[in-house]
């Protein structure tokens, strides 16, 4: 009887985890569609969104695998109207994994506010560094099929005339932009996680 009870609880937990992960994936998809430019600070073809927020919530509440699944769901759905042949979505997925995996793993090991912050910072730093290389070797080689490299650099130079190469643009603009984008999700998570985690985990009374 005890074994049957444990099996039923585990099955119920797995079903709930899948359902909540799917819901957070849908929310992340909506937030990804609501991207917007930040004029004067970064070229208009680079957009800001909060789609990493549901993935981070999933990683904290249900573990890093759930966070990665949310990243996969939002990018898989976004493929339906991709303008980059899937390359942009692939890069977004890789960066999302770099963000939520360290955060989820570190928090899972020790569930304290301090470890959650350390994990989130580690994820944001890793995501921002990897963004430089994913953009240089994956994303921009595809973008140059639609926009000449000189035009791409021109958009960066309109904001900072010291930009000479794509490496300059990625290090001075994309890397800090990606870090700040991640940290925005972290700040929001720390404000709301305590209130919504019982709902996500199914432990609210």
Indicate which CATH number applies to the domain containing 139: 1.10.1760.20
Q: What is the pLDDT of residue 8?
A: 46
What pLDDT sits at residue 87? 86
Count of other CB atoms within 10 angstroms of residue 61: 24
Range of the domain at 130: 2-35+50-201
Mean pLDDT of 102-112: 94
In this predicted structure, what is the pLDDT of residue 202? 73
Given a cut of 50, is residue 197 above it in pLDDT? yes
The H-or-E segment that residue 134 falls in is helix 113-134
In a domain, 81, yes or no: yes
Number of domains in the chain: 1
d(CA 8, CA 37): 48
Residue 149 · residue 141 · CB < 8 Å: no
- With respect to residue 164, please indicate whether it lies within any of the assigned structural domains: yes
Q: Which two tokens stand for residue 169?
A: 């643009």
Domain membership flag for residue 45: no
At 142 the pLDDT is 87
- Cβ 198 vs Cβ 62: under 8 Å: no
Is 167 within a domain? yes
Average pLDDT over residues 171-196: 94
Tokens at residue 166, please?
């794509």
Residue 93 domain flag: yes
Q: Which two tokens stand for residue 61?
A: 């509440």
Pick the closest to residue 73 from 88, 60, 54 (CA basis): 54
Mean pLDDT of 52-72: 96
Which H or E run includes 124? helix 113-134
| DSSP 8-state symbol, 193 | H
Other CB atoms within a 10 A radius of the CB of residue 177 amount to 19
d(CA 29, CA 161): 35
Q: Is 44 part of a structural domain of the chain?
A: no
139-151 in b/e form (b: 16+ CB < 10 A) is bbebbeeeeeeee
Residue 162 lies in a domain: yes
> Under DSSP, is residue 50 helix (H, G, I), strand (E, B) or coil?
coil
In a domain, residue 40? The reply is: no
Summary mean pLDDT of the chain? 90
Q: Between the ranges 35-39, 54-58, 145-149, where is the mean pLDDT highest?
A: 54-58
From CA 62, how far away is CA 56, in angstroms rounded?
10
């Amino acid at each position: 009887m005890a074994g049957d009870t444990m099996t039923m609880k585990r099955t119920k937990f797995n079903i709930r985890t899948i359902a909540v992960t799917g819901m957070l994936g849908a929310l992340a998809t909506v937030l990804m569609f609501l991207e917007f430019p930040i004029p004067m600070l970064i070229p208009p073809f680079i957009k800001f969104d909060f789609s990493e927020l549901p993935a981070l919530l999933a990683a904290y509440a249900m573990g890093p695998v759930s966070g990665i699944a949310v990243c996969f769901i939002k990018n898989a759905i976004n493929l339906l109207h991709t303008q980059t042949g899937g390359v942009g979505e692939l890069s977004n997925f890789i960066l999302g994994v770099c963000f939520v995996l360290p955060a989820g793993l570190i928090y899972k090991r020790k569930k304290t506010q301090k470890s959650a912050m350390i994990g989130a910072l580690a994820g944001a730093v890793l995501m921002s560094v990897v963004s430089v290389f994913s953009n240089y070797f994956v994303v921009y080689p595809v973008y140059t099929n639609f926009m000449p490299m000189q035009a791409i650099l021109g958009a960066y130079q309109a904001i900072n005339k010291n930009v000479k190469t794509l490496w300059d643009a990625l290090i001075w603009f994309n890397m800090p932009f990606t870090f700040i984008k991640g940290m925005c999700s972290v700040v929001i998570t720390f404000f709301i996680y305590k209130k919504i985690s019982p709902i996500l985990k199914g432990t609210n009374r």
